[in-house]
Structures are given as C-alpha cells and as structure tokens.
Amino acid sequence: MTSPHKPRVALFAAPESSPGLLFGLYDVLSSVGAVYPDMTTGKPGQELLEVSIVGAQAEPFRCFGNVLVEPTAAIGDADDYDVIIVCDLYTPITTAPRGRFAREAAWLREMHARGSLITSVCTGSLLVAEAGLLDGRTCAGHWAYADLFGSEYPRVTFDAAAILVLATEPDGVITAGGVTAWQDLALHIIARLCGPEHAIRTAKVHLLVGHQDGQLPYAAMVRLTDPSDAAVVRSQEWIADNYATDNPVAAMVERCGLLPRTFGRRFRAATGRRPIEYVHDIRIDEARRILESSSIAIDDVGFSVGYKDPTFFRRLFKRKTGLTPAAYRRKFAAIAPYVDRPARGLAAG
C-alpha cells in the first residue's frame, strides 16, 4: 500500500491475547530501521514504522497471565492503518468465539474495506473468520483448531500445515500459523512496508528464523474424539497399547464385536478418521516420541511401532510430519538431550 506517512501498524489485542506474542511483535516492529544501525555503528537510526496497540477500548486491561496492556488507541480511533495484526485470542478448541467480538469483527470489515491489510497470528484467524474475511479463502492458524474450523467455518479452507498463507494477500488478508509464526509474519510485513533489506537486518538483530518446515512437525497426531461411543473408545484404549500388532484394524473389530463395516462407520463418526488412519497416527506419534528421546536406529524405530517395511515407514512419516525421520530427530532431539530411558520394548543402543 502506498502511503505518504510513515507506515502504520496496529496490533489488536484483547484479554484473551498472550503477552509474548503481543509484545514480541511490538518490540520487533518498533525496532525496524533504528536498532540495526545502533548495533553496527553505535548510532541509532530512525524508526520506520509507527506501531500501535489497539484494544476494544483505550483503557488499560490485563491479558493472559495477568500482564498489563495499555492500548495506544481503541478501535475506531483511526482509520488509516496500513496493516492490522490480530493477535491470538484464546478460546477452547471446541468453542468458536460466536458473538464475543462483534464490534471488533465489524471494525475489521470496515478497515479491510478502507484498504488496510488484515493479518492474524494463531487463533487470531478465528476473529478474521468471524468477520467473514476468510469466506472462500484458505487460512492458517494454530494446528489444534483445524477441527473447529472444519465444523464452524465450512466456507474457510484451513491449512493446518501452513505457517503463512500469502495467496490471499492480493485480497488484503494474510494469516499466520500458531504462536511464534508471528516472527514469519513480522518479517513479511517489514519486507512489504520497508523493503527486504530491513527485513533481513531485523532478523539479524533479533536472531529470527523462519519456520520453513511448516506446522506439521509440531502438530499432535491424535486429538479430541467423541467419547459417547463406548465400542470405539474401547478400541482406542486397546490400540493405544497394542499399536504394533499385525492387522490392527481386524483386531479392533474382533475385540469390539461389531461387523467390520459397522465398526468403520462408527469409528469415523467418532474420530473423523478411518480406523487405519487412526492406527497410523498412533504409530507415527509413538515413533516421534522415540526419535525425540533416543538414539535408536531409524529402521528399528519403524519396526518397533509396527512397520516391517522401512521404506513405507519413512514415506508415511514424512507425509504425516513434513520431515524425514532423520530430519525430525535433528530438529527435536537437541531440545532435550537423550534421557536415560529406553523406548517401549526397545533397549537403547
């Protein structure tokens, strides 16, 4: 967006927002143009962005963790923001924020109509969806909310693997994935408003790196299911401890006493997945745990969770997590060094 003034960026926050995300964005965006010269020449430069924290009202409030937030302005106080970033807004993974942010949603629609680029991080995409700005579009958000988007916002295509969805940028909307995807969004906005050189300099000052692997390496394989079908629950409880068994779906069917087609239909209704897909998720989740916490050979890891074909295991692992088993181990094992405990059924070697 071409603007005669210093580009203006509004960070919309609410009591449901997390301080790390809000103030991380504020700190990084406020430093553009000023801190890199200070770090390299000893002389601060000029701040290139005007960054504001905007709330529903201008009065101070406390966000998540009881951290004080003092807004610069309230929604409606200004109408010439170049970019609006909707920070995360916590809501349970089973509950859409229906009616909770009606004024804020109307404000986003108005700002979008006036030409502001509307962006969001993490669960902030729920508010953008509430505003109707994601209808017919693809969006990112925290991977844990994929099912909620599927049930509550059927006109939105939720990409649980994405860190940034930029295909909608020509339409005036950008959405970012979970939590620290704010860093990727911030660098993109800096490059857009101030140029790539300033984005690179800001990344160097703050040691920011992109999430090139996407969200899949972080996403849980097994999530919330409907607990009302006792037969399905029993089969889930059994497979949780017997995931490596041969012909696991047939074994689950036999244990619950249902006809195979009936079992498949009820299992999918309760979990949203076919039984074999659920078994794969259980197995890959356990394989991830082993890779994170041991130095066991990768082919042995696959065998331990039920895959006798190493090639099939490696292909499936990459499809489910976005990384090869070796790359996954490199990414996460360094976070916590191998602990002195063997994986289930295996001796570390």
Compute the CA torsion angle 180, 186, 188, 189 (nearest 10 deg): 150
Same-domain pairing of 186 and 259: no
Residues 252 and 180 in one domain: no
Number of domains in the chain: 2
For the segment 221-240, the average pLDDT, to the nearest whole number, is: 83
Alpha-carbon 104 to chain mean position: 22
Q: At residue 9, what are phi and psi to the nearest 5 degrees?
A: -120, 125
pLDDT tops 60 at residue 80: yes
Domain end position, chosen among 206, 221, 239: 206
Q: What is the pLDDT of residues 248-301, one digit of tens each?
A: 999 999 988 899 999 999 999 888 889 999 999 999 999 999 999 899 999 999
**Model confidence pLDDT, tens digit, residues 159-215:** 999 999 999 999 999 999 999 999 999 999 999 999 999 999 999 999 998 898 999
Question: Same domain, yes or no, for 54 and 140?
Answer: yes
Collapsed DSSP state (helix, strand, coil) of residue 84: strand
CB-CB neighbours of 79 under 10 Å? 11
Average pLDDT, the chain: 92
CA distance 56 to 71: 9
C-alpha 176/C-alpha 125 separation (Å) is 8
Question: In this structure, are 22 and 155 located in the same domain?
Answer: yes
Percent of the chain with pLDDT over 90: 82
In a domain, 223, yes or no: no
CA distances from 274 to 39, 202, 261, 264 (A): 55, 46, 11, 6
**What CA–CA distance (Å, rounded) separates 128 from 121?**
10
Q: What is the pLDDT of residue 88?
A: 97
58, 68 contact by CB (below 8 A): no
Place of tokens 């603007």: 3
* 185 in any annotated domain: yes
Enclosing domain of residue 78? 8-206
In a 3-state reduction of DSSP, which class is residue 109? helix
Residue 7 is given by DSSP the state P
Question: How far apart (Å, rounded) are the C-alpha atoms in residues 157 and 333?
Answer: 33
- In this prediction, residue 333 carries a pLDDT of 81
Q: pTM for the whole thing?
A: 0.86
